[in-house]
Amino acid sequence: MPIVNSSYRTVLLLIPICLCSLARAEDSDYGPVIPIAADAGIGPTQDVVVEGDLAYTIGKSRLQILDVSNPRSSKLVGSLGNLGSVRQLVVRDGIAYITARQDGLFVVDATNPVEPQLIKHYDTIEFATGIALTGDVLLVACRHYGVELINVSDPANPSHISIVRTGEAQSVTARDHFAYVGVWASAEVVTVDISNPWTPKIVSKSKLQGYGDGISVSGHYLYASTGHHLKNQPRKTPDDPGFGAGHGLEIFDLTDPAEPAWISRIEFPRLYEIGNDTWRVIADGPLIYASDTYNGVFVIDANDPESPEFLGHHQLPQGKNGRPFGFVGGLAIVDQHLLMAGGDTDLHILDVPAARNYAPDMGTPPTIGPRPIQAPLARYRLYHPGQQVYAVDFFADDRAVVACGEGGAHVMRLWPDMAALSVFETEGFATDVAVNGDLVFLAQSAGGLSICRLNPDSDELEQIGHYASPPDAIRQVEVPGDGHYALIQVGASQFQILDVRDPANPTIVLKDNRHGLLYGDQLMRGLVDDRYTTVFWHVSGTHWYDLKSDPPVFAGDIFPERLGSPNGQVALGSQSLVTTRGGYVLLAREETRSIDEIGIIKYVPGSPHMGIPNIDGNRLYCARRAYGEVTITDISDPKKPKLLERFTTPGNPCRPLIRNDCLIIPDGYHGLIVRPLTIQ
């Protein structure tokens, strides 16, 4: 059935004529080319939203605010830099919430747009990508970890509410008491009941034909923008029918808001280009605007949702790194114009005569009630610092150093009772810690790497050395063996080795970038043959480095297969134990066979990924951070593992440690778990 009245339908029918009169190219299967009426002149732009007469844009680590009361002659009003790897934003009442991938969430007070001020840098549970705001609940799509719900009733002091494990969340929107999540790899729209933000619940999953991303809701319909490959067709090689054919827009009926019902799909051009993957959509009644990275932007008439039609399109000609086209990020609408974020180029203003000032209809937002009372803990003790707990390591006398995100590094005793002895305030988020001898190496994201000693009289950490690699954050650190070298993850994809034999003056001796990302804990724990370490990038596989060479060097060995970013590595004698595909493989340095030839060792056939591993004695302990799962496995015979226990935690468990017959689990916003081992 049509979703607009007859007078508005008449306006829609005139759109192709208006666009034709302005087109610079002949009509195509995607409608006439919509010309660029003006450029804002602000440079590469990742996303844009409009509130009133102001457009808020992000790109190249900056927020820029423009007066668009006359869109063709926009004027820069104010800007703010140093906002990390910006991706999406939402604005309400002059407060901008900006996701920045590995750099978390930035909250900017732009009520005075001439002088916007950063009021909070918030530590999200993982790579912050998509974002939506409903009432006082901010929804942040955190890739593999799902969606984080954050209380922003006081924008300067956001606080974690809960998480919902949807799968690889790219974008999110909400209306009334439901959130709709575009999930990438599993190609789904996941519907979440957020009526009680403390306990969000997945109520349905609706399959998409392409990889999921942008979501928009208007009237009785939901619109999902998709990309990459068709999931229901062979797609491994360019000759396969599904390869690059996942680009398009899918329409769902929301008569039952908990169960979106598929109606139709309109196809965009076949394309497979890795990098800057983003597919976004804005639905304003039956007029749909969809951006599709290198395919550009499409305007679609969905007046008949069963037979949507193209009204026009625009594909940016400029490209970087040999690409024939520039990529398009977010979109926004201002009266009679479409604002298009050119990720390589600029903010472009397109003439679309039927466009009108637009704000999404969020319906009735959920209410954040009192924090639920936690039930008594029967199996474990819990230290809850109020911030994320990422990692823990120990001195020989059992004093612990705990990396507590925004809360800095806490020096603690865990036995016989828990006691916080001191707090080391960090410049950034404390995301990892390694103790080697009497030295503490603390990764503090944007604050760099601190090297500290413990004052035995005060139990306080005292910094003796520091290293930074601006503008990139340092999120992981390993200091294996004799402690001569610190291995660090820098930014989203760089590996560095520092010589720390003089801890007051750490110096870089190796820097390496490979194809892919370092999502998290992808540096190996320990050394193989007391000499070699490994790092795996999520696309280009495992790379070996020789720490006995002076200086350390890339050993020349690569195991090129994808292992999956939720997994990890730990040294096991002369091999590296690498978790992947629901089990693990044992890799020698010169291994050249494929994973299928080597054979994945599984303790339970068909089990999910094992996660980040650690070994103590004959036990393998794994934490699957994105899904809250911890497993304990007997590997007395590594080729015949026996699952001893599997359990879930409320938070996001990081690499587990064993100390004093206890399992120590950093569990994200849930806190630090100390759980006596019950398995003999």
User: Could you tell me the CATH number of the domain that includes residue 188?
Assistant: 2.130.10.10
Confidence (pLDDT) at 246: 96
Q: What is the DSSP string of 81-95?
A: ----S---EEEETTE
pLDDT of residue 273: 87
**pLDDT for residue 608:** 60
Q: Which two tokens stand for residue 352?
A: 């679309």
CA distance 497 to 499: 7
Asked if the structure places residue 147 within a domain, the reply is: yes
Q: How far apart are the C-alpha atoms of 205 and 498, rounded to whole Å?
A: 46
* Domain-embedded: residue 490: no
- pLDDT given at position 565: 78
Instruction: With H, G, I as helix, E, B as strand and everything else as coil, classify residue 161.
Output: strand
At residue 169, what are phi and psi to the nearest 5 degrees?
-75, 130
Residue type, 631: T
Can you give the residue range of the structural domain that contains 118? 6-351
Position 189 scores a pLDDT of 98
> Which residues make beta-bridge pairs with 664?
657, 674
**CB 268, CB 292: distance < 8 Å:** yes
Distances, alpha carbon 643 to alpha carbons 117, 407, 637, 660, in Å: 52, 35, 12, 22
Over the chain (680 residues), the average pLDDT of each successive run of 10 is 33 38 50 95 97 96 97 97 96 97 95 98 95 98 94 97 95 97 96 98 98 96 97 92 96 98 97 89 94 96 97 87 86 95 96 85 92 77 94 96 97 95 95 96 96 94 96 94 96 95 97 89 94 93 96 96 88 94 92 92 70 95 92 93 91 95 96 85
Instruction: Supply φ then ψ for residue 628, to 5 degrees.
Output: 70, 25
**Is residue 28 situated within a structural domain?**
yes
In a domain, residue 657? The reply is no
> Is the residue at 320 inside a domain?
yes
In a domain, 25, yes or no: yes
Q: Which residue has the tokens 């056939």?
A: 605
Residue 440 lies in a domain: no
**Residue 664: partners with Cβ closer than 8 Å, 6 or more residues away:** 392, 400, 414, 656, 657, 658, 672, 673, 674, 675
- Predicted pLDDT at 347: 97
- Report how many domains make up the chain: 1
Per the domain annotation, does 215 fall within a domain? yes
